[in-house]
Amino acid sequence: MLDPARPTSTIHRFSWEEIAGLARLLADRLVDAQIGGVVGIARSGLVPAVMLSHMLGVRPFAVLDIARTHSDAIRADKSQPATRGALGLARMRGRRVLLIDDIVGQGLTLDAARRQMVDAGADPVTAALVVNRANLAGRDPRAIVDHWACDVHGWVIFP
Amino acid sequence: MREALHATKLFRVDQPVDPHLGVTRFLSDWQRRTGDEPCFLFTDVIGSRLPLVMNLPTRAALLGEVGLADDPHAVARLADRFAVPAAPVFAPGLVVRDLASLADLPLLWHQPGDAGKYLTAFVGALADGGGGTNLGFYRGLVAGAREIVLFMDPRTDAHRIVTAGLADAPRVPITLFNGGPLAVYLAAAAKLPPTLDSFDAAARLGGGELVLAGGDYPSAPAEAEIVIEGHVTREHRAEAPFGEFKGYYSDTTSSPVVVVDRIRVRDDALCLGLFCGKTSGLTLMALQNEILLFDHLRAAGFAADTVRYPLAAFGEYVAVIESDTPSRAMVAAALDFDPRAKLVVAARPGVDVLKEAIVFPAEVECRPYVRRGRQEGHRIGIFCDRRHACRWTEL
């Protein structure tokens, strides 16, 4: 839609109210999606995961701890996603699960998480609060994530 | 517009939303719940394939698109630009796909008491007779697949142009466009001198090259998302009530019918919408008022730091002039220039003007407020010039 290849230096700050609003947008979209479990990608994906779990009224919850950035700093170095741990994945077998992170750029973390969920016998539906189109290198976000609530072209600072 | 979209947080609403009150109800509920008006992209407005963008033209978006994001002197910079002619250039437009009907566009029924679906964010372009173009915002009631009842305020140059044109010919060509550079929207909202070509003004304010697409009808920006070409006719029909920006319904008017000859959109078109009375609509009004008053004061020899028209007063009725040398004459000049301003305050930069006027001595000038030829109360000018230092409490 917008020129995805265009470089940007914009920094977008989000408030807690905006985070809650974005989670609500996702919940409105997913309310009829027959979600039977929620999986948050630790750390930051746990915030929207807990919100969505409550908003959708879905109790089964699991955590995937996948590390990608080396620090919390803006423009922090990144490496290939590495799984550090998991909690409750076995409960997700046979369920349609919402796999959620706070932000998606290149999609490597979400892709790694999706593969793990499939390996665990779950049917993942992926979601993110925000897609950073500046990191997509021209790819359609739908190739990376099923649902998202906000587009930006630039760096994001969550509260 | 796409520059501004690129720089904003674009909240997505992907579930189907009804253009009949659904979009405005969603936005209104969101604002009531959160106190915020983020920019939204409605990707599935029922009945249209075009995504709809709402709440885009905020102050940050407008200034960002003209390259003045975070500039504390943006109003002065825009006034500087306003003095330098910048003729637009011409190139083929990006609208390539024809639509059969206005019903194919995501046009909204905004308020329950409105007379129907309205165009609110389309800029009307008319040839002004002197070789230039007059741009303006007009509310347009969708009256059929290819008919619009277009309200033009009788006090505007556009009304004068159409009236003169229809005296000589049965119809007057008009272009209604959506999208393109937001500087064009700013120029369209501005009460420009009738001798100044609106696209020239837009090019000046934009600070870069303005590219137009020409043709048999008045020009539109080459980057426009949607271009409606048609003719204003001598036929009049009723339009309104319509929920105006001040929060009440306007009375029914008898306004000319525009017959639509062609509707074209970009392949990847987005439709920009404006919700009257919300930040995005009021900001255009406020910013153009600020630029024009600042420019006037400076030309009259007054040294203003900046001028503000607060959105709380609909971006029109209260002018705050910040200056190191505020004066009674400055207030009088502003009252002379902008007869719609009910309250004009001149004070030193950075002060809380209400606090200044209340706590310290202030001089007041009172004048009749004339609306549509009749006096309706008074207008007030306040000059605050506290000359002794004071230390405000910190906590």
Q: Kindly report the nearest CA distance between residue A13 and chain B, in angstroms.
A: 9
Kindly tell me if the per-residue pLDDT of B61 is higher than 80: yes
Give the tokens for residue B140. 């347009």
* Mean pLDDT within A59-73: 81
Are A159 and A14 contacting, i.e. CB atoms less than 8 angstroms apart?
A: yes
* Record: contact B5-A12, CB cut-off 8 A: no
High-pLDDT (> 70) share of chain B, %: 100
Confidence of residue A70 (pLDDT cuts 50, 70, 90): low
Q: Kindly report the nearest CA distance between residue B348 and chain A, in angstroms.
A: 32
For B283-300, the pLDDT digits (tens) are 999 999 999 999 999 999
* Mean pLDDT within B118-142: 93
Q: Report the chain B residue with the minimal C-alpha distance to residue A154.
A: B7
* Record: contact B15-A149, CB cut-off 8 A: no
- Residue by residue, DSSP assigns B328-370 as HHHHHHHHHH-TT-SEEEEE-TTS-HHHHHHHS-EEEEEEEEE
The neighbouring-strand residues paired with A117 are none
Domain boundary among B221, B251, B279: B279
* Mean pLDDT within A21-41: 96
B115 and B75 within one domain: yes
- Give residue A2's pLDDT: 44
B143 and B91 within one domain: yes
- Give residue B16's pLDDT: 96
Give the tokens for residue B117. 């679906």
Residues of A in contact with B27 (CB under 8 A): none
* Mean pLDDT within B350-361: 87
- Per the prediction, chain B carries an average pLDDT of 94
User: Within 10 Å of residue B148's Cβ, how many Cβ atoms?
Assistant: 29
Kindly tell me if the per-residue pLDDT of A71 is higher than 70: no
Q: Is the residue at B395 inside a domain?
A: no
Quote the CA–CA distance of A97 and B340 in Å, as a whole number: 58
Quote the CA–CA distance of A55 and A22 in Å, as a whole number: 12
Q: Kindly report the nearest CA distance between residue B2 and chain A, in angstroms.
A: 7
High-pLDDT (> 90) share of chain A, %: 69
* Mean pLDDT within B365-387: 91
Whether chain B has a CB inside 8 Å of the CB on A143: the answer is no
Kindly tell me if the per-residue pLDDT of A7 is higher than 60: no
Kindly tell me if the per-residue pLDDT of A5 is higher than 50: no
B284 and B224 within one domain: no
B108 and B79 within one domain: yes
* Mean pLDDT within A14-33: 95
Q: What is this model's ipTM?
A: 0.89
Kindly tell me if the per-residue pLDDT of B361 is higher than 90: no
Q: Is the residue at B394 inside a domain?
A: no
Strands (E), A2-154: 11-13, 37-42, 61-69, 78-87, 96-104, 123-132, 147-152
Window from B238-242, B312-316, B352-356 with minimum mean pLDDT? B352-356
- Give residue B213's pLDDT: 96
Question: Between β-strands B224-239 and B253-266, what pairing exists: parallel, antiparallel or unpaired?
Answer: antiparallel
B286 and B273 within one domain: no
Confidence of residue A69 (pLDDT cuts 50, 70, 90): low
Kindly tell me if the per-residue pLDDT of B114 is higher than 60: yes
Domain boundary among B255, B279, B303: B279
Q: Is the residue at B323 inside a domain?
A: yes
Whether chain B has a CB inside 8 Å of the CB on A5: the answer is no
B153 and B291 within one domain: no
Quote the CA–CA distance of B95 and B224 in Å, as a whole number: 7
For A87-138, the pLDDT digits (tens) are 999 999 999 999 999 999 888 999 999 999 999 999 999 999 999 999 888 8
Looking at the 3D structure of chain B, how many domains does it have? Answer: 2
* Record: contact B36-A18, CB cut-off 8 A: yes
B119 and B105 within one domain: yes
Confidence of residue A9 (pLDDT cuts 50, 70, 90): low
Residues of B in contact with A12 (CB under 8 A): 9
- Give residue A8's pLDDT: 52
Confidence of residue B208 (pLDDT cuts 50, 70, 90): confident
Better-scored residue on pLDDT, B264 or A155: B264
Q: Report the chain B residue with the minimal C-alpha distance to residue A17.
A: B34
- Give residue A74's pLDDT: 60
Quote the CA–CA distance of B291 and B221 in Å, as a whole number: 22
Any idea which residue has 């070789």 for tokens? B131
- Give residue A57's pLDDT: 97
Residues of B in contact with A1 (CB under 8 A): 51, 268, 270
Q: Is the residue at B391 inside a domain?
A: no
Which of A1, A14, A146 should one mutate to test binding to chain B, selecting the residue with the greatest count of B CBs within 10 A?
A: A1
Q: Cα dist. B82→A40, B189, B191, B299, B352 in Å?
A: 52, 15, 13, 12, 29
DSSP class of residue B314 equals T
Q: Is the residue at B167 inside a domain?
A: yes
Q: Kindly report the nearest CA distance between residue B310 and chain A, in angstroms.
A: 24
Q: Is the residue at B14 inside a domain?
A: yes
Residues of A in contact with B41 (CB under 8 A): 151
Domain boundary among B228, B248, B279: B279
Confidence of residue B356 (pLDDT cuts 50, 70, 90): confident
Q: Is domain A36-69+81-157 classified as CATH 3.40.50.2020? A: yes
Quote the CA–CA distance of A86 and A92 in Å, as a whole number: 12
* Record: contact B12-A25, CB cut-off 8 A: yes
Confidence of residue B152 (pLDDT cuts 50, 70, 90): very high
For B78-94, the pLDDT digits (tens) are 999 988 888 889 999 99
B297 and B204 within one domain: no
Q: Cα dist. A134→A8, A109, B329, B375 in Å?
A: 7, 16, 51, 56
For B225-234, the pLDDT digits (tens) are 999 999 999 9
High-pLDDT (> 90) share of chain B, %: 81
B159 and B10 within one domain: yes
B225 and B293 within one domain: no
B287: domain CATH number?
A: 3.40.1670.10
B261 and B124 within one domain: yes
* Record: contact B9-A17, CB cut-off 8 A: no
Q: Containing domain of residue B202, as a range? A: 2-279
B169: domain CATH number?
A: 2.30.110.10
Q: Is the residue at B389 inside a domain?
A: no
Which of B12, B34, B51 has the CB atom closest to A17's CB atom? B34
- Give residue B386's pLDDT: 79
The residue extents of the domains of chain A are 36-69+81-157
Q: Is the residue at B288 inside a domain?
A: yes
B111 and B95 within one domain: yes
